[in-house]
Amino acid sequence: MKKNIEKKGSMLSSSRQYGIQDLRANLFEKTKGSTLDKINSFTKFAGRQNIAKLVAQYEMLMMTKNVLGNIIEGGVFHGSGLLGWANLSVSLEPYNYQCKIIGFDTFQGSKGVTSKDQSLSNIKRREKEYNANNYEDILRTIEVFDLDRPLNHIKKMEVIKGDISKTIPAYVKKNKQLTVRILHLGMNLYKPTYHSLKNFIPRMSKGSIIAIDGLNHATPGCFEALKENLEISKINLKTFDYYPNFSYFVI
Ligand SMILES: C[S@@+](CC[C@H](N)C(=O)[O-])C[C@H]1O[C@@H](n2cnc3c(N)ncnc32)[C@H](O)[C@@H]1O
Protein backbone atom coordinates (compact mmCIF):
# COMPACT_ATOMS: atom_id res chain seq x y z
CA MET A 1 0.00 0.00 0.00
CA LYS A 2 1.36 3.41 -0.96
CA LYS A 3 2.07 5.91 1.78
CA ASN A 4 -0.67 8.41 2.44
CA ILE A 5 0.35 11.58 0.66
CA GLU A 6 -2.43 13.74 2.08
CA LYS A 7 -0.28 15.79 4.41
CA LYS A 8 0.44 19.19 2.93
CA GLY A 9 -3.07 20.20 1.97
CA SER A 10 -4.86 17.88 -0.33
CA MET A 11 -4.03 14.60 -2.03
CA LEU A 12 -5.83 16.14 -4.99
CA SER A 13 -2.84 18.42 -5.62
CA SER A 14 -0.19 17.26 -8.05
CA SER A 15 3.49 17.60 -7.15
CA ARG A 16 3.65 20.57 -9.53
CA GLN A 17 0.79 22.18 -7.61
CA TYR A 18 2.57 21.60 -4.28
CA GLY A 19 5.45 23.52 -5.84
CA ILE A 20 3.11 26.35 -6.78
CA GLN A 21 1.73 26.41 -3.22
CA ASP A 22 5.29 26.81 -1.94
CA LEU A 23 5.80 29.70 -4.37
CA ARG A 24 2.59 31.28 -3.09
CA ALA A 25 3.72 30.93 0.52
CA ASN A 26 7.06 32.45 -0.41
CA LEU A 27 5.29 35.31 -2.17
CA PHE A 28 3.26 35.94 0.98
CA GLU A 29 6.38 36.12 3.11
CA LYS A 30 8.55 38.15 0.76
CA THR A 31 6.14 40.48 -0.98
CA LYS A 32 5.95 44.15 0.01
CA GLY A 33 3.35 45.36 2.49
CA SER A 34 2.53 44.77 6.13
CA THR A 35 0.82 41.61 7.39
CA LEU A 36 -2.38 43.62 7.55
CA ASP A 37 -1.95 44.76 3.91
CA LYS A 38 -1.58 41.11 2.97
CA ILE A 39 -4.66 40.01 4.92
CA ASN A 40 -6.67 42.78 3.28
CA SER A 41 -5.55 41.59 -0.15
CA PHE A 42 -5.95 37.88 0.57
CA THR A 43 -7.13 37.19 -3.02
CA LYS A 44 -3.58 38.00 -4.12
CA PHE A 45 -2.24 35.00 -2.23
CA ALA A 46 -5.10 32.51 -2.02
CA GLY A 47 -5.27 29.87 -4.74
CA ARG A 48 -8.26 29.39 -7.02
CA GLN A 49 -9.14 26.25 -5.02
CA ASN A 50 -9.45 28.30 -1.81
CA ILE A 51 -11.75 30.76 -3.54
CA ALA A 52 -13.81 27.96 -5.11
CA LYS A 53 -14.31 26.39 -1.67
CA LEU A 54 -15.62 29.66 -0.25
CA VAL A 55 -17.95 30.11 -3.25
CA ALA A 56 -19.31 26.58 -2.75
CA GLN A 57 -19.93 27.39 0.93
CA TYR A 58 -21.69 30.57 -0.19
CA GLU A 59 -23.90 28.54 -2.53
CA MET A 60 -24.88 26.14 0.24
CA LEU A 61 -25.67 29.04 2.52
CA MET A 62 -27.90 30.53 -0.19
CA MET A 63 -29.55 27.16 -0.92
CA THR A 64 -30.53 26.95 2.74
CA LYS A 65 -31.55 30.60 3.06
CA ASN A 66 -34.21 30.88 5.77
CA VAL A 67 -33.90 27.23 6.77
CA LEU A 68 -33.80 27.22 10.56
CA GLY A 69 -30.73 25.85 12.27
CA ASN A 70 -27.02 25.87 12.94
CA ILE A 71 -24.09 25.07 10.70
CA ILE A 72 -21.94 22.19 11.90
CA GLU A 73 -18.35 21.76 10.78
CA GLY A 74 -17.23 18.22 11.62
CA GLY A 75 -13.43 18.40 11.39
CA VAL A 76 -11.98 21.90 11.88
CA PHE A 77 -8.28 21.40 11.06
CA HIS A 78 -6.85 24.90 10.51
CA GLY A 79 -10.31 26.46 10.45
CA SER A 80 -10.76 27.48 6.82
CA GLY A 81 -14.19 25.85 6.54
CA LEU A 82 -15.29 26.92 10.03
CA LEU A 83 -14.35 30.57 9.57
CA GLY A 84 -15.64 30.47 5.99
CA TRP A 85 -19.12 29.64 7.30
CA ALA A 86 -18.82 32.17 10.12
CA ASN A 87 -17.68 35.07 7.93
CA LEU A 88 -20.25 34.36 5.24
CA SER A 89 -23.00 34.04 7.82
CA VAL A 90 -22.28 37.34 9.58
CA SER A 91 -21.73 39.14 6.26
CA LEU A 92 -24.90 37.91 4.56
CA GLU A 93 -27.27 37.34 7.49
CA PRO A 94 -25.93 39.66 10.19
CA TYR A 95 -29.02 39.41 12.38
CA ASN A 96 -29.61 35.69 12.12
CA TYR A 97 -28.86 34.85 15.74
CA GLN A 98 -30.59 31.49 15.22
CA CYS A 99 -27.71 30.25 13.07
CA LYS A 100 -24.68 29.33 15.14
CA ILE A 101 -21.47 27.91 13.69
CA ILE A 102 -20.27 24.93 15.69
CA GLY A 103 -16.99 23.12 15.07
CA PHE A 104 -16.14 19.67 16.40
CA ASP A 105 -12.60 18.29 16.40
CA THR A 106 -10.16 16.36 18.52
CA PHE A 107 -7.66 19.13 17.71
CA GLN A 108 -5.18 16.25 17.80
CA GLY A 109 -5.87 14.75 14.39
CA SER A 110 -7.87 11.76 13.21
CA LYS A 111 -9.40 9.38 15.74
CA GLY A 112 -11.26 6.15 15.14
CA VAL A 113 -9.78 4.67 11.94
CA THR A 114 -11.43 1.32 11.15
CA SER A 115 -11.05 -1.31 8.46
CA LYS A 116 -13.97 0.38 6.65
CA ASP A 117 -11.64 3.29 5.89
CA GLN A 118 -8.95 1.16 4.34
CA SER A 119 -10.52 -0.18 1.19
CA LEU A 120 -8.71 2.12 -1.21
CA SER A 121 -5.40 0.82 -2.52
CA ASN A 122 -3.63 4.16 -2.68
CA ILE A 123 -4.55 5.76 0.66
CA LYS A 124 -3.81 4.47 4.11
CA ARG A 125 -5.86 6.38 6.65
CA ARG A 126 -4.12 6.60 10.00
CA GLU A 127 -4.69 7.88 13.54
CA LYS A 128 -3.51 11.46 14.21
CA GLU A 129 -3.62 12.40 10.51
CA TYR A 130 -4.33 16.17 10.06
CA ASN A 131 -3.10 17.04 13.54
CA ALA A 132 -3.29 20.84 13.69
CA ASN A 133 -3.01 20.88 17.51
CA ASN A 134 -4.53 24.39 17.53
CA TYR A 135 -7.47 24.42 19.95
CA GLU A 136 -6.24 27.56 21.78
CA ASP A 137 -5.55 29.33 18.46
CA ILE A 138 -9.08 28.66 17.24
CA LEU A 139 -10.53 29.98 20.53
CA ARG A 140 -8.44 33.15 20.13
CA THR A 141 -9.57 33.44 16.49
CA ILE A 142 -13.20 33.32 17.65
CA GLU A 143 -12.52 36.00 20.27
CA VAL A 144 -11.16 38.34 17.58
CA PHE A 145 -13.98 37.42 15.16
CA ASP A 146 -16.52 38.34 17.85
CA LEU A 147 -15.11 41.83 18.33
CA ASP A 148 -16.46 43.12 15.03
CA ARG A 149 -19.82 41.60 14.20
CA PRO A 150 -23.43 42.64 14.68
CA LEU A 151 -25.22 41.18 17.72
CA ASN A 152 -21.92 40.25 19.33
CA HIS A 153 -23.56 40.05 22.74
CA ILE A 154 -25.09 36.76 21.50
CA LYS A 155 -22.76 33.81 21.01
CA LYS A 156 -22.22 32.91 17.34
CA MET A 157 -19.47 30.29 17.35
CA GLU A 158 -18.56 27.33 19.47
CA VAL A 159 -15.90 24.64 19.25
CA ILE A 160 -16.15 21.29 20.97
CA LYS A 161 -12.94 19.42 21.61
CA GLY A 162 -12.79 15.63 21.59
CA ASP A 163 -13.66 12.54 19.61
CA ILE A 164 -16.83 13.28 17.62
CA SER A 165 -18.07 9.72 18.19
CA LYS A 166 -18.52 10.78 21.84
CA THR A 167 -18.87 14.59 21.76
CA ILE A 168 -21.66 14.78 19.18
CA PRO A 169 -24.07 12.31 20.90
CA ALA A 170 -23.44 14.16 24.20
CA TYR A 171 -23.92 17.60 22.59
CA VAL A 172 -27.19 16.61 20.91
CA LYS A 173 -28.50 15.08 24.13
CA LYS A 174 -27.66 18.24 26.07
CA ASN A 175 -29.02 20.70 23.48
CA LYS A 176 -32.62 19.60 23.15
CA GLN A 177 -33.57 22.67 21.05
CA LEU A 178 -30.82 22.14 18.46
CA THR A 179 -31.69 22.16 14.75
CA VAL A 180 -29.16 21.96 11.92
CA ARG A 181 -29.25 23.74 8.59
CA ILE A 182 -25.91 22.61 7.10
CA LEU A 183 -23.97 19.58 8.30
CA HIS A 184 -20.51 19.55 6.76
CA LEU A 185 -18.40 16.50 7.53
CA GLY A 186 -14.73 16.42 6.55
CA MET A 187 -13.18 13.86 8.87
CA ASN A 188 -12.75 11.35 6.02
CA LEU A 189 -13.47 8.47 8.43
CA TYR A 190 -16.34 6.02 8.89
CA LYS A 191 -16.81 6.12 12.66
CA PRO A 192 -17.08 9.88 13.40
CA THR A 193 -19.09 10.35 10.17
CA TYR A 194 -21.51 7.60 11.19
CA HIS A 195 -22.12 9.14 14.64
CA SER A 196 -22.50 12.64 13.19
CA LEU A 197 -25.16 11.49 10.72
CA LYS A 198 -26.99 9.31 13.24
CA ASN A 199 -27.29 12.11 15.78
CA PHE A 200 -27.84 15.14 13.57
CA ILE A 201 -30.18 13.81 10.86
CA PRO A 202 -33.17 13.74 13.28
CA ARG A 203 -32.47 17.45 13.92
CA MET A 204 -32.50 18.49 10.23
CA SER A 205 -35.64 19.76 8.55
CA LYS A 206 -36.57 19.61 4.87
CA GLY A 207 -34.35 21.91 2.82
CA SER A 208 -31.28 21.53 5.01
CA ILE A 209 -28.00 20.24 3.54
CA ILE A 210 -25.59 17.45 4.35
CA ALA A 211 -22.16 17.83 2.73
CA ILE A 212 -19.41 15.23 3.01
CA ASP A 213 -15.95 15.65 1.51
CA GLY A 214 -14.81 13.53 -1.41
CA LEU A 215 -17.42 10.76 -1.18
CA ASN A 216 -16.85 9.18 -4.58
CA HIS A 217 -13.11 9.58 -4.45
CA ALA A 218 -11.17 9.08 -1.25
CA THR A 219 -13.48 8.31 1.65
CA PRO A 220 -14.99 4.82 1.36
CA GLY A 221 -15.79 4.77 5.09
CA CYS A 222 -17.86 7.94 4.78
CA PHE A 223 -19.95 6.48 1.98
CA GLU A 224 -20.53 3.40 4.12
CA ALA A 225 -21.63 5.63 7.03
CA LEU A 226 -24.05 7.45 4.72
CA LYS A 227 -25.49 4.16 3.39
CA GLU A 228 -26.06 2.93 6.93
CA ASN A 229 -28.01 6.07 7.82
CA LEU A 230 -29.98 6.76 4.63
CA GLU A 231 -31.23 5.04 1.52
CA ILE A 232 -28.95 6.37 -1.23
CA SER A 233 -31.58 6.00 -3.97
CA LYS A 234 -33.84 8.39 -2.04
CA ILE A 235 -31.37 11.28 -2.08
CA ASN A 236 -30.02 13.42 -4.89
CA LEU A 237 -26.29 13.23 -4.30
CA LYS A 238 -24.54 16.07 -6.07
CA THR A 239 -21.31 18.00 -6.30
CA PHE A 240 -20.18 21.42 -7.49
CA ASP A 241 -18.59 21.44 -10.94
CA TYR A 242 -16.07 24.08 -9.81
CA TYR A 243 -15.44 22.49 -6.38
CA PRO A 244 -15.99 18.73 -6.52
CA ASN A 245 -14.45 18.14 -3.10
CA PHE A 246 -17.88 18.75 -1.56
CA SER A 247 -20.42 15.98 -2.14
CA TYR A 248 -23.83 17.11 -0.87
CA PHE A 249 -27.55 16.60 -0.90
CA VAL A 250 -30.55 18.61 0.15
CA ILE A 251 -32.86 16.82 2.57
C1 LIG B 1 -9.37 17.06 6.51
S2 LIG B 1 -9.40 17.81 8.06
C3 LIG B 1 -10.84 18.86 7.98
C4 LIG B 1 -10.68 20.05 7.07
C5 LIG B 1 -11.59 21.20 7.41
N6 LIG B 1 -13.00 20.84 7.26
C7 LIG B 1 -11.27 22.44 6.61
O8 LIG B 1 -12.18 23.12 6.14
O9 LIG B 1 -10.08 22.77 6.43
C10 LIG B 1 -9.98 16.51 9.11
C11 LIG B 1 -10.18 16.93 10.56
O12 LIG B 1 -11.01 15.94 11.18
C13 LIG B 1 -10.57 15.78 12.52
N14 LIG B 1 -11.01 14.46 13.02
C15 LIG B 1 -10.74 13.24 12.49
N16 LIG B 1 -11.31 12.27 13.25
C17 LIG B 1 -11.97 12.88 14.25
C18 LIG B 1 -12.76 12.43 15.35
N19 LIG B 1 -13.00 11.13 15.55
N20 LIG B 1 -13.28 13.36 16.18
C21 LIG B 1 -13.06 14.67 15.99
N22 LIG B 1 -12.33 15.17 14.96
C23 LIG B 1 -11.78 14.28 14.11
C24 LIG B 1 -9.07 15.94 12.43
O25 LIG B 1 -8.51 16.29 13.68
C26 LIG B 1 -8.90 17.05 11.37
O27 LIG B 1 -8.79 18.32 11.95
pLDDT of 77: 97
Distance 130 CA to ligand 1 centre (A): 7
pLDDT of 121: 66
64 and 118, same structural domain?
Answer: yes
127 and 37, same structural domain?
Answer: no
Please check whether residue 237 lies inside any domain of the structure.
yes
Please check whether residue 210 lies inside any domain of the structure.
yes
Q: Which pTM does this prediction carry?
A: 0.94
Distance 114 CA to ligand 1 centre (A): 15
Please check whether residue 142 lies inside any domain of the structure.
yes
133 and 35, same structural domain?
Answer: no
31 and 53, same structural domain?
Answer: no
State the CATH number of the domain containing residue 218. Answer: 3.40.50.150
Asked whether 164 lines ligand 1 (CB < 6 A), one says yes
Tell me the per-residue pLDDT of 181-228, one tens digit each, with 9 for 90 and over: 999 999 999 999 999 999 999 999 999 999 999 898 888 999 999 999
159 and 80, same structural domain?
Answer: yes
pLDDT of 124: 82
Distance 202 CA to ligand 1 centre (A): 22
Tell me the per-residue pLDDT of 32-55, one tens digit each, with 9 for 90 and over: 999 999 999 999 999 999 999 999
- Which residues fall within 8 angstroms of residue 33, CB to CB, at 6 or more apart? 41
Asked whether 76 lines ligand 1 (CB < 6 A), one says yes
Q: How confident is the model at residue 10 (pLDDT cuts 50, 70, 90)?
A: low
Please check whether residue 159 lies inside any domain of the structure.
yes
Q: How many structural domains comprise the chain?
A: 2
Has residue 120 got a pLDDT over 70?
no
- Sign for the CA dihedral angle at 223, 229, 233, 235 comes to negative
Please check whether residue 41 lies inside any domain of the structure.
yes
| Phi, then psi, of 126 in degrees rounded to 5 | -145, 160
Which among 4, 7, 105 is the best mutation to test ligand 1's pocket, defined by most ligand atoms within 8 Å of the CB? 105
Q: Residue 228 is part of which domain span?
A: 48-250
pLDDT of 5: 47
120 and 240, same structural domain?
Answer: yes
195 and 140, same structural domain?
Answer: yes
35 and 55, same structural domain?
Answer: no
